Amino acid sequence: SDLQKQEERGELLQPLIFVFLVLCSILLYFKVSLMDPGFVKPEEEEGEDKGQGVIPQIPGDVKLRRCGYCLVKQPMRARHCQLCQHCVRRYDHHCPWLENCVGERNHPLFIVYLSVQLVVLLWGGHVAWSGLYFEQSWEWLQHNIFLLVSFLLILIFTIVVLLLLVSHLYLISCNTTTWEFMSHHRISYLRHSELENPFDQGIILNLWRFFC
């Protein structure tokens, strides 16, 4: 049959890989959106600063404080999210698309999700573009309007995801978070530090500690 011939020629492999990537993207989305991003539990002690990379350059007069909202002892680099009603360790941002915070526990998976999503969008954009053949006629537009709109939407989402992924990788390589980058002047342990970024330990070590 035609299906068997296509399988023998390897023509079915690419669609299967594409479907697999789409399923991975969907599973990663639900995993990142439903998992604990690193909520600070009331029973945790302020000295348990797991994986925060706090180094001696932090001024000694900067003390860990109790959150004014949920009343837990707030570790270094944690922040209270009013939408989630929790303090989050190594808080990066609250993502409206995920309806969840991106923090210490789910930030690496968030980067993996963006990477897989980018591959899917680039692949889908290539497929949509390859199906287009341009003619200056109203009849052509009627027959190709859906494909054209799909390509434009994919292009917009690709640019958004690419910019988001690149910006996050840059911040990770500097060992800083979106919140710290945007609110540097309002954060006590950064405002009073002699260094611009006291957590930066070099690109390689920053990436290693984040992903590994």
- Catalytically active residues are 95
d(CA 12, CA 5): 10
170's tokens? 């840059």
Q: Of 57, 68, 89, which is closest to residue 192 (Cα–Cα)?
A: 57
In contact, 22 and 28? CB cutoff 8 Å: no
Is residue 155 exposed (0-12), middle (13-18) or buried (19+ Cβ within 10 Å)?
Answer: middle
Query: Using CA atoms, how far apart are residues 125 and 155, in angstroms rounded to an integer?
Result: 7
